[in-house]
Amino acid sequence: MTAGMILLVVGLVFVTGTGLVGFYWAAKSGQFSNLSDGAASIFDSEEPEGTPTDRFPSPKRS
Amino acid sequence: MNQPSLLSSLHPATEPDTLDSTDRAKIDASTRLPVLLFFGSAIFWLLLGSFLGLLSAWKMTNPWLLDSMGWLTFGRLRPAHLNAVAYGWAAPAAIGVGLWLTARLCRIPLLHSKLLVSAAIIWNLGILVGICGILIGDGRSIEWLEFPAYSTPILFVSYALIGIWTIIMFRFRKPGHIYVSQWYLFAAFLWFPWLYATANILLVWQPVQGPAQGAINWWYAHNVLGLWFTPIGLASAYYFIPKVIGRPIHSYYLSILGFWSLALFYSWNGLHHLIGGPFPAWLISASVVASLMMFIPVITTAINHHMTMQGHFEALKWSPTLRFTVFGAVAYTVVSLQGSSMAIPSLNTITHFTDYTIGHAHLGLYAFFTMMMFGAMYYIVPRLVGWEWPSASMIRWHFWLSAVGIILMVSALTLGGLLQGLALYDVKSTFRSSLEFATPFRYLRGVSGFVLMAGQIIFAILFIQMLLKLGTPKKGPALLGKPDDATV
């Protein structure tokens, strides 16, 4: 087995492994429960739900 | 701010919870230098890459154009165009958006800015060496991997630095939920170095023999789109659509399902490029099946984005970010369903080897990905430089030139490609007539390139004005004014 092939097998196992471990960890640590809180996690008191955060600049310069 | 050193970030014994809590404005500010560096260089390569594309498009209709210059022959120009826009524009734009989103979603200031600045410089050096290498004739005839062998390690080093940075950021993140965009980003940042290294080992370092090269080539080329550009484009849509309109994503469950099904099915897709080629039938069949299974992540994403927007479509009038992002999201649905259909062998027989495929590629990389990146930049840049975009009408021009240009380009290539494909398939038609069918559509494609470039030049001017702070100082912490007094 050449060095390249060994690297490939290690890479393949690593990538598949991180995927599986990641999925298992996510399920265990509650990432898949309480989904409505998850969806709202990008909002906070400073930029709450219901507040738009982007618009075209106003035509007049102040 | 007590930032850990690079060594202590990597040391397993370091306690991750050492960072002070900071507000959003400080997190945004901490990303300024690396993100603007990636954006700025990306826009430069976009202009250059598009110019190279425009030249190659005109060479298709006017073969005598610049025929005395060896370094500008079609065989060098076209790969230079592809690599400049894919690795020079799309990848750094994706990295810039990814860095900013990662910092926001980890809820910590960006760590190790110097590491990222060096990564940006090394990356651009790699692109420069690669593009010059292709133009002087050192390019390799492997689609999507045309960069000469001496430039790829430079890119890999830069890329690995960013991969390490992602892991550090993830480790030091503030406790709490991991938002769906971060799943996409984290996965993309880890997948790409693996794809790039594997393809380079198997095709350059220790090349496999015979048809296996084609299989590796298309496994890589398709995964660059599906496991690198697509996840970052979607991460951007999943963040900006809810954030701009101020409403959580419609079904968070579907977004998670979309992510994991993409991760499961996408890497099988590449071989549908080789339908009819000298490969074991099971390999092609598995790829066709996986391509059709892509309906699951695509439709979940489409439903989700549409239902989130439902009742908020008037927001498209007042938000530049949303306009570009929603255009990109719709294009994602269209390009993905089209891509799945192109894997069906009976349709593939007609469209393969025609301009139809080129139209599909531009629908994906421009109408979906590039528009998504423009949208993200319209949101991010004002928050980094603290200025408003100087001109609303220039943003509108940019949007409409991009939208009309890309629709024109994709329609011309799709229609021309179909006619070309049907003529190629027809035993009574000569090969020459199949080319003649495509010619008027190729002129149209050349025109559409000008329209797109005009939009890009407007965007570049806007970006430079922002860097030189020629706009109005930004009011308030996040809102660029109130949406109710906006003009359309």
Average pLDDT value over all residues in chain B: 91
Task: Please answer whether residues B276 and B349 qualify as being in contact, where contact means their C-beta atoms are separated by less than 8 angstroms.
Answer: yes
**Residue among B308, B303, B487, B331 nearest B403 (CA):** B331
pLDDT confidence band for B242 (50 / 70 / 90) = very high
Interface test with B, best of A55, A58, A60, A62 (most B CBs within 10 A): A55
Could you give the CA distance from residue B375 to residue B396 in angstroms, rounded to a whole number?
12
Residue B39 predicted with pLDDT over 90: yes
**Residue among B409, B411, B236, B260 nearest B332 (CA):** B236
pLDDT confidence band for B129 (50 / 70 / 90) = very high
Residue B212 predicted with pLDDT over 50: yes
**What DSSP designation does A50 have?**
T
Q: Bigger pLDDT: B6 or B290?
A: B290
Backbone angles phi, psi at A47, to 5 degrees: -125, 75
For residue B466, give Cα distances in angstroms to B40, B59, B389, B390.
11, 36, 7, 7
With CB atoms and an 8 Å threshold, state whether B242 touches A23. Answer: no
pLDDT confidence band for A59 (50 / 70 / 90) = low
The whole-number pLDDT of residue B485 equals 46
pLDDT confidence band for B21 (50 / 70 / 90) = low
For residue B262, give Cα distances in angstroms to B230, B234, B275, B280.
10, 11, 22, 25
Residue B220 predicted with pLDDT over 90: yes
B470 vs A: CB within 8 A = no
Q: Could you give the 3-state DSSP secondary structure of residue B473?
A: strand
Backbone angles phi, psi at B473, to 5 degrees: -55, 145
Could you give the CA distance from residue B184 to residue B266 in angstroms, rounded to a whole number?
13
Residue B1 predicted with pLDDT over 80: no
Number of Cβ within a 10 Å radius of residue B231: 26
Q: Quick one: average pLDDT of B217-223?
A: 94
Which residues in A have their CB inside 8 Å of a CB on B? 2, 4-5, 7-8, 11, 14-15, 18-19, 23, 26, 31-32, 34-44, 46-59, 61-62
Q: Which residue type sits at A5?
A: M
**What DSSP designation does B129 have?**
H
Question: Which residues on neighbouring strands pair with residue B473, listed in sequence order?
Answer: B387
Q: Could you give the 3-state DSSP secondary structure of residue A1?
A: coil
Could you give the CA distance from residue B85 to residue B49 in angstroms, rounded to a whole number?
5
| Contacts with B481 from chain A: Cβ below 8 Å | 55, 57-58
In DSSP notation, B199-222 reads: HHIIIIISPPPTTHHHHHHHHHHH
Task: Please answer whether residues B37 and B120 qualify as being in contact, where contact means their C-beta atoms are separated by less than 8 angstroms.
Answer: yes
Interface test with A, best of B23, B195, B257, B480 (most A CBs within 10 A): B480
- State pLDDT tens for residues B157-196: 999 999 999 999 999 988 888 999 999 999 999 899 899 9
pTM above 0.90, yes or no: yes
The interface predicted TM-score of the complex, written ipTM, equals 0.89
Number of Cβ within a 10 Å radius of residue B310: 10
With CB atoms and an 8 Å threshold, state whether A58 touches B485. Answer: yes
| Minimum distance, in Å, between the CA of residue A13 and any CA atom of chain B | 11
Query: Of B249, B320, B478, which has the smallest distance from its Cβ to A56's Cβ?
Result: B320
Task: Please answer whether residues B224 and B144 qualify as being in contact, where contact means their C-beta atoms are separated by less than 8 angstroms.
Answer: yes
Report the C-alpha dihedral over residues B140, B142, B145, B149, rounded to 10 degrees: -30
Residues 322-361 in B contacting A (C-alpha not used; CB under 8 Å): 322
Number of Cβ within a 10 Å radius of residue B393: 11
Residue B333 predicted with pLDDT over 90: yes
Lowest mean pLDDT among A44-48, B251-255, B381-385: A44-48
Q: Which helix (H) or strand (E) holds B471?
A: none
With CB atoms and an 8 Å threshold, state whether B179 touches A26. Answer: no
Alpha helix stretches (DSSP H) within B353-430: 355-362, 371-385, 392-425
Lowest mean pLDDT among B218-222, B400-404, B468-472: B468-472
A44-48, A54-58, B9-13, B110-114: which has the highest mean pLDDT?
B110-114
Query: Of B179, B239, B263, which has the smallest distance from its Cβ to A19's Cβ?
Result: B263
The whole-number pLDDT of residue B326 equals 96
Residue A61 predicted with pLDDT over 60: no
In DSSP notation, B286-351 reads: HHHHHHHHTHHHHHHHHHHHHHHHTT-TTHHHH-HHHHHHHHHHHHHHHHHHHHHHHTSHHHHHHH
pLDDT confidence band for B2 (50 / 70 / 90) = low
pLDDT confidence band for B400 (50 / 70 / 90) = very high
pLDDT confidence band for B54 (50 / 70 / 90) = very high
Q: Which residue type sits at B25?
A: A
Query: Of B197, B253, B478, which has the smallest distance from its Cβ to A53's Cβ?
Result: B478
- State pLDDT tens for residues A10-42: 888 988 898 899 999 999 988 888 888 889 989
Query: Of B244, B260, B392, which has the smallest distance from its Cβ to A56's Cβ?
Result: B392
The whole-number pLDDT of residue B437 equals 87
CB-based contacts of A18-27 (< 8 A; 24+ apart in sequence): A18/B190, A19/B263, A23/B260, A26/B178
Q: Quick one: average pLDDT of B62-71?
A: 89
In DSSP notation, B166-198 reads: HHHHHHTPPSS---HHHHHHHHHHHHHHHHHHH
| Minimum distance, in Å, between the CA of residue B197 and any CA atom of chain A | 9
Lowest mean pLDDT among B140-144, B195-199, B470-474: B470-474
Counting residues of chain B whose pLDDT is more than 70, the rounded percentage is 95
Residue B235 predicted with pLDDT over 70: yes
Complete domains list, chain B, with CATH:
22-472 (1.20.210.10)
- State pLDDT tens for residues B409-461: 999 999 999 999 999 999 999 999 998 889 999 999 999 999 999 999 999 99
Count interface pairs A-B at CB distance under 8 A: 132
The whole-number pLDDT of residue B477 equals 38
